């Protein structure tokens, strides 16, 4: 269903409860009675075109053409929406899941596995925070300058700035997948099952929400910013002739295809878990640092675990190392 400004605001929620989050992040308060979308947005000082573009983007799950939706968007309004979403994840969602994990099981250093899983969760939360801080301080600052009619000279283009970030979105999704997998496979059996399942459900819901947020940044927001950028560049060229161009670069990853962990790879895992650097591992195993890196890439591919905290849990659970050898 494609919503228009005359539809009732309450119908949005009845149609798709996920849109509650959108309404809240735009700062539209509940209690809108039978107000239409346009009336409710106007009453809360929200740009109706941007609100509808986001609602229809999420609700259609990418079936509507982004170029058309982006034409209705106010970049400033959409950026405020993204910033409120960042605050929601950092200040509310991630801490609330952490509390639930702690309630579900004794996470003190006494219970080593639970303690390590909590540490893994904290690393994931920090990764999300770093990601969003970068957007607030780099990408959004760049866009703010465009909104003031300036082409920021230090950066070649929005595409260039956002390119590296696109990779970060894939990395976030890999980390959350790993987090769920570790909780499902390794959480201690003496946990409070109901609370643990509840926390896990929250992680699934947050992951979906975060994925939708990243997708919106990569498509609708990116399209709207690029169009603003073209407009500003044209105006600047017509004015004093200043200009800058940028382009995104392609990437490729080399992978190999073997299955089980080799003895050398298990040895590398044990050294990583003991807290050794790649250089130290290379010296201990009489191999080059490059070979250590290759082992680590193969380990990540075979175990689907990419962080030292995750490898520690893997090593303990699979009996590769004793608890007292682990660097906590």
Name the one range near Fe ion by CB under 5 A: 18-26, 133-141, 224-232, 242-250. Answer: 133-141
Contact (Cβ atoms closer than 8 angstroms) between residue 172 and residue 123: no
Q: How far is the CB of 134 from Fe ion (least distance, A)?
A: 8
CB of 210 to Fe ion, least distance (A): 8
Minimum CB–partner distance for residue 159 and Fe ion (Å): 15
Q: How far is the CB of 290 from Fe ion (least distance, A)?
A: 32
**Site for Fe ion contains 229 (CB under 5 A):** no
DSSP tag of 255: -
Pair 139, 165: CB distance under 8 Å: yes
Closest CA to 156 of 80, 72, 249: 249
Q: Find the binding residues for Fe ion in span 13-32 (CB under 5 A).
A: none
What is the Cα–Cα distance from 303 to 282, expressed in whole angstroms? Answer: 21
Kindly state the helix (H) or strand (E) to which residue 312 belongs, with its residue range. helix 308-317
Stretch that binds Fe ion, among 120-128, 149-157, 175-183, 215-223 (CB under 5 A): 215-223
Scanning 25-33, 115-123, 127-135, 266-274 for contacts with Fe ion by CB under 5 A, the matching segment is 127-135
d(CA 202, CA 76): 30
Sequential DSSP letters for 127-169: HHHHHHHHIIIIIHHHHHHHHTT---TTSS-HHHHHHHHHHHH
Decide: is 135 part of the binding site for Fe ion (CB under 5 A): yes
Residue 47 vs 135, nearer CB to Fe ion:
135
Residues in contact with Fe ion, shown as a per-residue x/- string from 84 to 123 under the rule CB under 5 A: ----------------------------------------
77 binds Fe ion (CB under 5 A): no
The residue (of 135 and 223) whose beta carbon lies closer to Fe ion is 135
C-alpha distances out from residue 252 to 164, 167, 171, 185, 248, Å: 13, 12, 15, 31, 13
Find the radius of gyration of the CA atoms of the chain.
Answer: 24
**Which stretches of the chain are assigned E, i.e. beta strand?**
none
Q: What is the DSSP letter of 8?
A: B
Q: Alpha-carbon distance 232 to 220, whole Å? A: 18
Closest separation in Å from C-beta 41 to Fe ion: 22
Q: Which is nearer to Fe ion, 58 or 214 (CB)?
A: 214
Q: Which is nearer to Fe ion, 146 or 273 (CB)?
A: 146
Instruction: Work out how close the CB of 184 gets to Fe ion at its nearest, in angstroms, rounded to a whole number.
Output: 26
Nearer to Fe ion, 90 or 326 (CB): 90
Binding residues for Fe ion, rule CB under 5 A, total: 3
Residues that bind Fe ion (CB under 5 A): 135, 214, 217
């Amino acid at each position: 269903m494609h919503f228009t400004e005359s539809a009732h605001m309450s119908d949005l929620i009845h149609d798709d409860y996920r849109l509650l989050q959108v309404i809240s992040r735009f700062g539209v308060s509940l209690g809108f009675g039978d107000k239409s979308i346009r009336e409710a947005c106007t009453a809360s000082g929200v740009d109706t075109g941007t609100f509808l573009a986001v609602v229809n983007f999420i609700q259609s799950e990418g079936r509507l053409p982004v170029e058309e939706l982006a034409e209705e968007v106010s970049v400033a309004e959409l950026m405020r929406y993204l910033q409120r979403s960042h605050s929601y994840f950092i200040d509310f969602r991630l801490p609330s899941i952490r509390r639930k994990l702690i309630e579900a099981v004794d996470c003190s250093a006494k219970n080593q596995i639970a303690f390590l899983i909590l540490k893994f969760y904290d690393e994931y939360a920090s990764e999300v925070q770093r990601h969003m801080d970068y957007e607030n301080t780099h990408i959004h600052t760049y866009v703010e300058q465009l909104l003031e009619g300036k082409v920021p000279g230090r950066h070649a283009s929005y595409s260039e700035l956002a390119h590296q970030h696109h990779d970060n979105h894939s990395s976030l999704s890999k980390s959350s997948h790993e987090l769920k997998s570790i909780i499902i496979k390794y959480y201690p059996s003496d946990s409070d099952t109901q609370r643990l399942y509840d926390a896990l459900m929250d992680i699934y819901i947050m992951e979906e929400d975060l994925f939708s947020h990243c997708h919106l940044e990569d498509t609708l927001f990116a399209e709207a910013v690029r169009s603003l950028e073209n407009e500003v560049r044209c105006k600047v060229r017509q004015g004093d002739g200043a200009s800058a161009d940028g382009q995104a670069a392609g990437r490729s990853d080399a992978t190999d295809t073997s299955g089980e962990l080799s003895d050398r790879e298990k040895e590398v895992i044990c050294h990583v878990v003991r807290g050794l650097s790649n250089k130290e591992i290379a010296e201990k195993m009489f191999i080059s640092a490059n070979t250590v890196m290759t082992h680590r890439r193969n380990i990540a591919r075979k175990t689907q675990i990419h962080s030292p905290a995750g490898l520690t849990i893997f090593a303990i659970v699979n009996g590769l190392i004793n608890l007292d050898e682990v660097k906590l």
